[in-house]
Amino acid sequence: MLWQLKIPHKVQIFIWKAYLNWIPTTANLSKKGMEVDDMCAGCHRKSETTLHAIWNCPNLRRVRFSIPFVHNQSWNDMASAFDFLLFQENILDKKEMELMCVILWRCWWRRNQMIHNAGVRSEEDVVEWAANFLEEFHKTEEKNSEKNIANGPMIKNIVRWERPREGVFKINTDAAICSDRNLVGFGIVIRNHNGEVMGCSSQSTVANFTPQIPEACAILWGIMFAKDTGLLPTVIESDAKTVVDLINAEAPPRADIGTVISDIINLCSFYDIRVLFTPRGANMVAHNLAKVPSIVEDRFCLEDYPPFLESFVRADMAL
Ligand SMILES: [Zn+2]
């Protein structure tokens, strides 16, 4: 349901991270081994878990009680942000959930402002702020969709990335071999139906592979990412035609690449993921991520992408 909500992309991403417990609260940072005091800097009473930071902190009491639709709920016994959000999704209607997401996002924003001594207006009515923010957002969205219709059909004939249909995510993968250094770069990017980047990865490894193996590995990692983060349903695109054909033939070939291909086939059938061929020209974001390995950390980064990709992402999103 999260992806069907009409809320700004950054809010959606924030709530998604809260579901996954990927919010950098002090408790989460300390669990990761960072030397930080895990106490909540707002109330100094409890460890700052995700749920505490966005909802349970005594400092948020006024916010909680000014949301008209949550008065009679019991949320104190929720174990985690995941349980809490799932509970809200189940009992709130779409409009209420949209407002709830913006409120939680604003609470986290205020928490950050406070921590960095940036100053927050303590008298701000968070609920009222969120309602106004959402109203503005919906107005702008409406205007934009009218504009898009007025602009008429887009020019075709150019090979370009196409958005997946609403509610589906698209992962583009690519691998690049730098033969003189025996270095292989992998690029993976996942986007939603608006073309917005949900996450990307750029990794490299020293190896001397035949070209198909890195291409297959990139596809496999893309699937793992979609699975681990719940970004399903997903379609995957790669510009390695041989590899895509092997996957869709559903018959694991030669020994060297066969195990990777069988893993992909199994995961695809379990998670109902399709792997499609796309020309290089429609795979430019992944291609450029693969070409410049190690710019992004050796793992997925969510929402953000390195600045050099901006023009490729924009080109894909242009009508
Ligand atoms: Zn607190």
Output the pLDDT for position 296: 46
Check pLDDT > 60 for residue 157: no
What whole-number distance in Å separates Cα of residue 91 and Cα of residue 171? 32
Q: How far is the CA of 54 from the centre of ligand 1 (A)?
A: 9
- Report the SS3 class of residue 250: coil
**Ligand 1 center–CA 69 separation, angstroms:** 23
Least confident of 73-77, 187-191, 228-232: 73-77
The tokens of 185 are what? Answer: 């770069």
Distance of CA 108 from the midpoint of ligand 1 (Å)? 12
> Which domains can be identified in the chain, with CATH numbers?
2-148 (no CATH), 169-317 (3.30.420.10)
Q: Which two tokens stand for residue 252?
A: 């694991």
In this structure, what token pair is assigned to residue 308?
């050099």
180 against 134, higher pLDDT: 134
pLDDT of residue 78: 80
pTM of the model: 0.71
Average pLDDT over residues 5-26: 90
User: DSSP strand E in 33-149: where?
Assistant: none
Query: Using 50, 70 and 90 to split pLDDT, how confident is the model at 44?
Result: very high
Residues 6+ apart with CB under 8 A from 312: 284, 285, 288
Tokens of 42: 């707002």
**Sheet containing strand 274-277, strands side by side:** 274-277, 234-238, 169-178, 183-191, 197-206, 301-302
Ion ligand 1: residue ranges with CB closer than 5 A: 40, 42-43, 57
* Cβ proximity of 246 and 253 under 8 Å: yes
pLDDT at 295: 46
d(CA 162, CA 160) in angstroms, rounded, equals 6
